[in-house]
Amino acid sequence: MTRKQRRLTMMAVAGSVLVVAAGLVLFALNDRIVFFNSPSDIAAGGAAPGERIRLGGLVEEDSVVRNDGSLVKFSITDTGSTVAVVFDGILPDLFREGQGVVTEGSLDANGLFVADTVLAKHDETYMPKEVADALREQGVWQGEGESATN
Amino acid sequence: MISELGHVALLLALALSCVQALVPLVGAQRGDARMMAVGSSTALGVFVFVSLAFAALTYAYLVSDFSVRNVWENSHSQKPFLFKFTGVWGNHEGSMLLWVGILTLFSALVALFGNNLPAQLKANVLAIQGWIATTFLLFVTLTSNPFERLFPAPFEGRDLNPILQDIGLAIHPPMLYLGYVGFSVAFSFAIAALISGRIDAAWARWVRPWTLTAWLFLTLGISMGSYWAYYELGWGGWWFWDPVENASFMPWLFGTALLHSAVVMEKRNALKIWTILLAILTFSMSLLGTFLVRSGVLTSVHTFASDPSRGVFILMILLLFIGGGLALFALRAGTLKQGGIFAPISREGALVLNNVLLTTAATTVLIGTLYPLALEALTGEKISVGPPYFNLTFGPLMLPLLLAMPFGPFLAWKRGDLKAVMQRLSWVLALAFVGLLTTFAVQTKTSIAAPFGVAAAVWLIFGALAELVDRARFFRVPLKTAFSRLFGLPRSAWGTTLAHAGMGITLLGIVGVSVYEREAVAVKQPGDTIELSGYTVTLEGIRPNSGPNYTEQVADLTVRRGGTVVAVLSPSKRLYQARNFPTTEAGIKTFGASQLYATLGDFDDKGGVVVRIYDKPLVLFIWIGTLFMGAGGVVSLTDRRLRVGAPKRAKPHAAAVPAE
């Protein structure tokens, strides 16, 4: 092999790896990302049933109902709209009524949000950034958002 | 008073650091030996003053001086001693001080152990380290002063976030920073080489021990962080593809690539320009990671201690060093001479493939981490990029790397013979096939992926061992000769084998826990049982307990297998009084490399509690593998070759080892 052929071989290998990677990235960014929705977005028909989304807002006061199993029902609100959520599993330590929360899952045909993940936050004064923004849109939240004290 | 002294020490360090950044640089340009020598003394001085500042802050924490705002915000008089100490870096200001402290430690080590470096190179390297230290000291003093006072002083502190009150905080951040920040040395060497326009195999020999040291600490730091999150957060997960995790993983991927390309440069005087670029990119990733974690732009499950107002400052630092480094690279790279030609099938070719795959994979991680930030900034659309993205992009790129890994060390330099290597690896391939069939036969859950995963792990582990077996000529010379040859092999060969086998062990753990994990969640009353993978778990009762600064409800779980008690698990729900902050403590029992992992959910009003139990087969291999990688790094560092004409030892406790 000449020097030129060697270089071409290397370029071809590197090039094909890059092409494959670029293809994967483009496909994954189209297909495997999850959009954030506030309850108002959902009320406005922002998400189709079955589509995987994140839903964030405040856990509505007096909305948490525990059944006999580990099934929990609660509502997420941005004070404009409210979405009922059902979750089977262990809630994070800092899950409380009136607190900001982000859940991941999908809407069922009846508009009930079936969550498989409830995101835990590590700080009791923490307000998830998306939730803070959503509440600001509703004119409720005045703070900076994402303001951890420590 | 001590705190004011600490603050003064910090300002003196800043002033001295400016001198370190300028005088040796000018000296190197003019060939003035006295000006160049200033680099070493100032580097040591800066380290001493930053250490004094750090000691002053530590003192304020240990005596619970709540007149210092930082101590008041993050400490409590009832906090156990260890956490008063580790709490020093469990917050933004202290964490940045640790960052700068480790940076200046590395500068001081270069000053101390770089006596055999050419004076000009050493002066330039220390000057660049001085630039980095100056900007970060400015950042600390201007935006993140840890010594700010409160008046009047409160009587009691607000306590450290309870999740951080764990031995993990003592280990993970210092290790991580030793890795992250350690790459600054490789960066400074690269910039110094670009400034002087001179770079050769000796340069690679000097850079390699520093890169290796940083890499091994980063490996262990990430791994310990992963284990900490695994047992402390109570979710039983070990990697979440969370932006903060990615922030540390990207420098690791680039650093791993750098480690391998530096080998080519050292042995064959090839890939020079690429190695320089990698050195710049690796530290750029460290800086980017610092920005992502410290600026508050991220929504993450792991971020503690962040403040958006500081983001702009770090962004400026980021632009200065990444932009400046790459601009200098673009200007000067052309002046570096290329050398060493090789065939595509050769050791060099294999290492190039390693580099292409690692850097491409790192780039996909980078895109996935930054895309949500960019999209939100441009369109306001909020998205999250999670495991589905990373599994789809990162996984397929890692696969060829893992499969090709055993070939690399077998290929000859310049021109290799793939067929001959395949013959030598044939018994490993056979073993991998046995592993595949065995897994198929014994698996309790039908999975196609897992047997192939196990086969790949066997391929990696034994493929790594095969190199030692082959080089010691086992089965070809008498056993005794083979053994003496084995122990006579260069330490770097042992290092390679350990690290590569470690990768296989980690893969085995990942496959085991991802595919065969089982989980049971249920509300249980005392006396109830849960069945999981042949274990019968009985909730014996729930009892209150109290620790130094918390109270807890502990559930006693007895685990039986075939009627005999094999374990008692005691997961608990804690409440830390100072912040009224609940945490979940997992109860874990280890069987070999597998673990039984129990956590508690909420208590109901009928005396029951949600109990979650995981059976996690082979999970410990994930971290055991990384220990092998770290051990590989340590063994390789002791290789004689690296000490000849190179810094004696790149480890902090080198002073205790007699010089050879």
Our CA dihedral for B272, B276, B279, B283, rounded to 10 degrees, sits at -170
Number of H helices, E strands in chain A: 3, 7
What pLDDT shows up at residue B307? Answer: 56
- Rg value, chain A, Cα: 22
Question: Do B12 and B125 fall within a single domain?
Answer: yes
Count CB pairs under 8 A between chains A and B: 149
pLDDT digits (tens, 9 = 90+) for B287-308: 999 988 887 666 544 444 445 5
Question: Is residue B197 included in any domain, yes or no?
Answer: yes
Identify the weakest region by mean pLDDT among B223-237, B302-316, B335-349. Answer: B302-316
Is the link from the previous residue into B80 a cis peptide, with omega within 30 of 0? no
Taking the C-alpha atoms of residue A142 and residue A136, their distance in angstroms, rounded to an integer, is: 7
Question: Do B271 and B197 fall within a single domain?
Answer: yes
Question: Is residue B553 included in any domain, yes or no?
Answer: yes
Cβ burial, residue B340 (10 Å; 0-12/13-18/19+) = middle
Residue A57 and residue A141 in contact, taking contact as beta carbons nearer than 8 Å: no
Q: How far is B438 from chain A (nearest CA, A)?
A: 33
What pLDDT shows up at residue B601? Answer: 86
Is B367 an 8 Å CB contact of chain A?
yes
Question: Do B182 and B36 fall within a single domain?
Answer: no
Which residues span the domain enclosing B304? 166-405
Q: Do A29 and B308 touch (CB under 8 A)?
A: no
Question: Do B149 and B192 fall within a single domain?
Answer: no
Q: Do A120 and B235 touch (CB under 8 A)?
A: yes
ipTM for this prediction: 0.83
Tell me the three-class secondary structure of A25-45, residue by residue: HHHHHHHCEEEEECHHHHHCC
Q: How far is A126 from chain B (nearest CA, A)?
A: 10
Residue A119 and residue A101 in contact, taking contact as beta carbons nearer than 8 Å: yes
What pLDDT shows up at residue B218? Answer: 97
Among the partner residues B74, B234, B363, nearest to A150 by beta-carbon distance:
B74
Q: Do B397 and A133 touch (CB under 8 A)?
A: no
Question: Do B436 and B345 fall within a single domain?
Answer: no
- Find the distance separating the first CA and the last CA of chain B, reported in whole Å: 45
Question: Do B125 and B222 fall within a single domain?
Answer: no
DSSP run (H or E) holding A56: strand A53-59
DSSP run (H or E) holding A97: none
Question: Is residue B645 included in any domain, yes or no?
Answer: no
The chain-wide mean pLDDT, for chain B, equals 89
Q: Do A93 and B583 touch (CB under 8 A)?
A: yes
Reference B284, options B319, B333, B316; nearest CA is B319
What pLDDT shows up at residue A67? Answer: 74
Mean pLDDT of B441-465: 90
The chain-wide mean pLDDT, for chain A, equals 80
Mean pLDDT of B483-489: 89
Question: Do B467 and B553 fall within a single domain?
Answer: no
A85: Cβ contacts below 8 Å, ≥ 6 apart? A55, A73, A74, A75, A76, A103, A105, A112, A113, A114, A115
Question: Do B386 and B460 fall within a single domain?
Answer: no
What pLDDT shows up at residue B641? Answer: 65
Residues of A in contact with B161 (CB under 8 A): 122-123, 150
Q: How many C-alpha atoms does B4 have within 13 Å on its Cβ side?
A: 2
CA B501, B502, B504, B509 torsion-angle sign:
positive
- Domains of chain B: total: 4
CA nearest A2 in B: which residue? Answer: B343
Residues of B in contact with A29 (CB under 8 A): 367-368, 371, 385, 389
Question: Is residue B70 included in any domain, yes or no?
Answer: yes
What pLDDT shows up at residue B308? Answer: 57
pLDDT level of residue B648 (50, 70, 90 thresholds):
very low
pLDDT over 70 at B651, yes or no: no
Taking the C-alpha atoms of residue B265 and residue B273, their distance in angstroms, rounded to an integer, is: 10
Output the domain CATH number for residue B120: 1.20.120
Higher pLDDT, residue B646 or B479 = B479
Mean pLDDT of B488-511: 94
Question: Do B47 and B147 fall within a single domain?
Answer: yes
Question: Is residue B64 included in any domain, yes or no?
Answer: yes
pLDDT over 90 at B211, yes or no: yes
Among the partner residues A33, A70, A124, nearest to B389 by beta-carbon distance:
A33
Question: Do B268 and B400 fall within a single domain?
Answer: yes
pLDDT digits (tens, 9 = 90+) for B323-365: 999 999 999 888 777 667 788 889 999 999 999 999 999 999 9
Q: Do B301 and A121 touch (CB under 8 A)?
A: yes
Helix B243-268 vs helix B201-232: crossing angle, to nearest 10: 160
Question: Is residue B156 included in any domain, yes or no?
Answer: yes
Q: Is B506 helix (H, G, I), strand (E, B) or coil?
A: helix
pLDDT digits (tens, 9 = 90+) for B248-290: 999 999 999 999 999 999 888 888 889 999 999 999 999 999 9
Q: How many C-alpha atoms does B284 have within 13 Å on its Cβ side?
A: 21
Q: Which superfamily does CATH assign the domain made up of A35-137 to?
A: Nucleic acid-binding proteins (2.40.50.140)
pLDDT level of residue B403 (50, 70, 90 thresholds):
very high
Question: Is residue B419 included in any domain, yes or no?
Answer: no
Residue B17 and residue B128 in contact, taking contact as beta carbons nearer than 8 Å: no
Mean pLDDT of B188-216: 91
Mean pLDDT of B395-421: 91
Taking the C-alpha atoms of residue B177 and residue B660, their distance in angstroms, rounded to an integer, is: 29
Taking the C-alpha atoms of residue A45 and residue B186, their distance in angstroms, rounded to an integer, is: 53
Question: Is residue B414 included in any domain, yes or no?
Answer: no
Among the partner residues B92, B163, B364, nearest to A25 by beta-carbon distance:
B364
pLDDT digits (tens, 9 = 90+) for B34-85: 999 999 999 999 999 999 999 999 999 999 999 999 999 899 998 899 999 9
Question: Do B156 and B185 fall within a single domain?
Answer: no
Q: Which two tokens stand for residue A37?
A: 């929705």
Question: Do B237 and B212 fall within a single domain?
Answer: yes
B111: Cβ contacts below 8 Å, ≥ 6 apart? B39, B40, B41, B43, B44, B122, B126
